Amino acid sequence: MNFASPAFWPPTTQEIVFLLLGVIAVGSAVLVVTTRQLVHAALWLVVSFGALAGGYLVLTAEFVAWVQILIYVGAIVVLLLFGIMLTRAPIGRSADLDSGNQIAALVVGVATAGVLVSVLVAGFRHAYMPLTPGAGAAKPLGSSIFRTWVLPFEALSVLLLAALIGAIVLSRTDIRGR
Amino acid sequence: MTDTITAPTIEYLLLSPLLVVFGAAIVGVLVEAFAPRYLRAAFQVPLTLLSLVAAFALVIFVVVKDGVPNKAAAMGAVAADGPALFIWGTILLLAFVSVLLIGDDFVPSAVAVPGSVEEERAVSEGAAHTEVYPLVLFAVGGMLLFAASNDLLVMFVALEVMSLPLYMLCGLARRRRLLSQEAAMKYFLLGAFSSAFFLYGTALLYGYAGSIDLSKISTSLSSVGGQDSLLFIGAAVLGVGLFFKIGAVPFQMWKPDVYQGAPTPITALMASGTLVAAFGALLRVFWVALGNLEWDWSPVVWAVAILTMVVGAILAITQTDIKRMLAYSSIAHAGFILTAVVATAGAKQNSLALSGILFYLVAYGLTTVGAFGVVTMVRDPGGEAWHLSRWAGLGKRSPKLAMVLAFFLLAMAGIPLTSGFFAKYAVFSAAVSGGAVALVVVGVVASAIAAFFYVRVIVLMFFSDPAADGPSIVMPIATRGVVGFAALATVVLGVFPQPVLDLASKAAQSLFVR
């Protein structure tokens, strides 16, 4: 995995775009946990996921990028917003979103991030991968999913079915007579 | 559309136990959808039991017909090798007896608020969640896949297939519902957390080795240099996820709460089946993928094993709830098994240790299902008589039941002439020959501490006077059968363990495929 890496200066357009997307992703992720409005948190999450999708796109993983947009931005955040609206949670500015443990949470969060970032830096400081356009397209991914990874793929569908049944068990109210 | 994908090769016969269990679960879902409410239980119970028996028969058929396969199946995703087939048989047997324990333990309507009018109406209408049977089958299928997965991605998917239905089932106890829901919530949050650890470890190891295949990670240990931080942190983080599942200290916090809150048949399934499956996966990761890294992980596993044995045994003494006590005893037993996990050296020593572990898993699994079966039989008006003081004088009211429970507890303590003795002997002797003498000394001391609280329960049952309004004994025929079978197995494995020991050592002989 170690190829001869080109000089860092001058940076290519790709690298600049990737760095900018990274800054956007991290910045909006911080805003998700610091904003006092629940709906704003969900919307900042859209920005964060979108920037991440852009990062995938720069790395030629185009299929993953579109899946990220469809599933996370399109489905999960919309689900979150519906959840907020349908459960009559307070939509405006709410002061009680901050927990009393925020200092401890901050310390733990920063420490964890420190460990993980330093591990990644130590591990991949010299790693360089030349990108081949089309390697992350739908076709190579599809053929490897339905060949090498066919069993975990099928097991995942079983997992989704089990989760669905469980959700029905926990929420069904149609006891006879209703 | 000229070019096509080459079809993957799937060894359907080898995977048939797995496919039968998942298939029966899906048929069970269809039964829920189409059968009228009053017929559902009549369909689900035989379907579940028959599929488990059929899967067990298929495991035997596969072994008899083709012998033990020596390479991974389904495009390298599943390693149905000797140990895996033995573990499959064990899990299916334990799941079968746990399903037989299911009686009136489940809530009639999970969505009704505890103690509300809706709940009373659901009870009076005789409502029931027969979905628990397909959910149990999903969990069992996940256990089978977890113990046999040959790469970390399959292992993660199997971990989720196993855990997700169990999170749900934990929250469905009919009595002490708030406790049950709290247990399910705790298990879900902590379990999700540990899954995230597992996934992060997988990602780091992929970064190190460039593959998530266990055998390729093993070969990359000697060829990749200069990225040790990825390897060590990845292995450690992956280990956190696995140690959580077996409930090793310091990741044991969920176990007493969850075992206490879950419906007792589900507790029995978790204490036996999940533990077996998790040890199968743990061994695969540490022995196959990280086998050549043994000098680095074995001190950590030493420390975890010592902590697990000692903390499990000591905290069990202070418990007053019988299910919590059995949970702490299960933590201690996980520690005893860990003593053999570190006892690796050459292939011969490894297969000795592995056969010890396999025998221990069978013996402990059957004993613990039997003990939880007895717990379901002793009833107060409000459900199971969970507080230990209610068990006082049980030996005078119902001597046979008390004697059976005493026997199970003695087996867990490892008294000779019970299966527990040979199980402990097998793992401890493997640990001694593997050079872990100090660990065995700690293990023996922890066993002695553990024996104290087992004997305390026995003394309570036989030598104190029964309360005037003592608990009543409910003996459904199936539960009686399970307890009888578990007691018989505990005796037979304690007096004449040779056939099962032989089977275990034969299964362990070829070790894990690579």
Annotated domain spans of chain B: 12-508
Q: Where are the beta strands (DSSP E) in B76-179?
A: none
Taking 70 as the pLDDT cut, the residues of chain B under it are: 1-3
For residue B211, the chain A residues in CB contact (below 8 A) are none
Residue B418 confidence (pLDDT): 92
How close is the nearest chain A Cα to the Cα of B377, in Å?
Answer: 26
Interface contact flag, B227 A142, Cβ < 8 Å: no
Evaluate whether residue A117 is within a structural domain.
Answer: no
How close is the nearest chain B Cα to the Cα of A24, in Å?
Answer: 23
Q: In which band, very low, low, confident or very high, does the pLDDT at A89 lie, cut at 50, 70 and 90?
A: low
Residue B300 confidence (pLDDT): 93
From B223, which residue of chain A is nearest by alpha-carbon distance? A1
From B29, which residue of chain A is nearest by alpha-carbon distance? A165
Residue B104 confidence (pLDDT): 79
How close is the nearest chain A Cα to the Cα of B343, in Å?
Answer: 30
> Which of A18-32, A106-120, B99-113, B136-150 has the lowest average pLDDT?
B99-113
Evaluate whether residue A36 is within a structural domain.
Answer: yes
Number of residues written out for chain A: 178
Residue A175 confidence (pLDDT): 53
Q: In which band, very low, low, confident or very high, does the pLDDT at A1 lie, cut at 50, 70 and 90?
A: very low
Q: Does A139 touch chain B (CB under 8 A)?
A: no
On the question of pLDDT at A45 being above 80, the answer is yes
Evaluate whether residue A125 is within a structural domain.
Answer: no
Question: What is the DSSP annotation of chain A?
Answer: -B-PPPPSSSPPHHHHHHHHHHHHHHHHHHHHHH-SBHHHHHHHHHHHHHHHHHHHHHTT-HHHHHHIIIIIIIIIHHHHHHHHHHTT---SB-GGGS-TTHHHHHHHHHHHHHHHHHHHHHHHSS-B----TTTTSHHHHHHHHTTTTHHHHHHHHHHHHHHHHHHHHHH----TT-
Interface contact flag, B161 A148, Cβ < 8 Å: no
Q: Does A143 touch chain B (CB under 8 A)?
A: yes
Evaluate whether residue A140 is within a structural domain.
Answer: yes
In chain A, the number of structural domains is 1
Which token pair is B229? Answer: 């931080």
Residue B129 confidence (pLDDT): 85
Evaluate whether residue A30 is within a structural domain.
Answer: yes
Residue B1 confidence (pLDDT): 47
- Contact of B128 with B41, CB cutoff 8 Å: yes
Evaluate whether residue A6 is within a structural domain.
Answer: no
- Residue among B32, B132, B141 whose CB faces A158 most closely: B141
For residue B29, the chain A residues in CB contact (below 8 A) are 161, 165
ipTM, 2 dp: 0.90
For testing the chain B interface, which of A165, A173, A174 should be mutated: the one with the most B CBs within 10 Å? A165
How close is the nearest chain A Cα to the Cα of B195, in Å?
Answer: 14
Residue B474 confidence (pLDDT): 86
Domain that holds residue A157: 13-101+135-171
Evaluate whether residue A32 is within a structural domain.
Answer: yes
Evaluate whether residue A19 is within a structural domain.
Answer: yes
From B201, which residue of chain A is nearest by alpha-carbon distance? A116
Q: Which amino acid is at B235?
A: A
Residue A2 confidence (pLDDT): 52
